[in-house]
Amino acid sequence: MSAMSKSAGLLLACLLSVPALAADLEIKDPWVRGTVPAQKATGAFMQLSSKGGVTLVGVASPAANVVELHEMVMDNNVMKMRALPSLDVKPGQTVELKPGSYHVMLIDLKKPLTKGDVVPITLKVEGRDKKIENVDLKAEVRDLTAASAMDHKHHH
């Protein structure tokens, strides 16, 4: 094998391995709360973890005109929702996006979301190298009354 074909083979092997290194983010149990016909906003929920640590710097979805990262906070005994510019996913820790806590807010929905629909969501993830990558996921729509999978486990 010539030196040229060896280096070409090595280059190809490197290029093929790149997608495996894409965005160090694991996503579990993504879901969206269903809506009633006139409702124009809902939440998306999931668990996020990362081996090396990443920062969620944005969210997008074709299902809504406005998509934001939000958190619920107690302020003078009043539960308030506020938009977050980013959310850190620390190495080895799970960040749970769930009702009453961090979540993705889908605002100005393009159509009602009913149980069984699938909502594409893109998470914009910044790695430690400061490069931003898009991570696409599909979240299943659950009943309007749905709780997270974690909540279900406690009731049985």
Question: What is the span of the domain harbouring residue 44?
Answer: 21-143
| Cα dihedral value 7, 8, 13, 16, nearest 10 | 150
pLDDT in tens, 58-100: 999 999 999 999 998 888 999 888 999 999 999 999 999 999 8
Contacts of 106 (CB under 8 A, 6+ apart): 32, 41, 42, 43, 44, 61, 63, 64, 66, 67, 119
pTM confidence score: 0.78
Q: Is residue 59 part of a domain?
A: yes
Q: Is residue 127 part of a domain?
A: yes
Q: Is residue 57 part of a domain?
A: yes
Q: Is residue 154 part of a domain?
A: no
How would you class 141 by CB atoms within 10 Å of its CB: exposed for 0-12, middle for 13-18, buried for 19 or more?
Answer: buried
Q: Is residue 150 part of a domain?
A: no
Neighbours of 59 (CB within 10 A): 19
Q: Is residue 99 part of a domain?
A: yes
Q: Domains in the chain: how many in total?
A: 1
Q: Is residue 51 part of a domain?
A: yes
CATH number, domain with residue 31: 2.60.40.1890
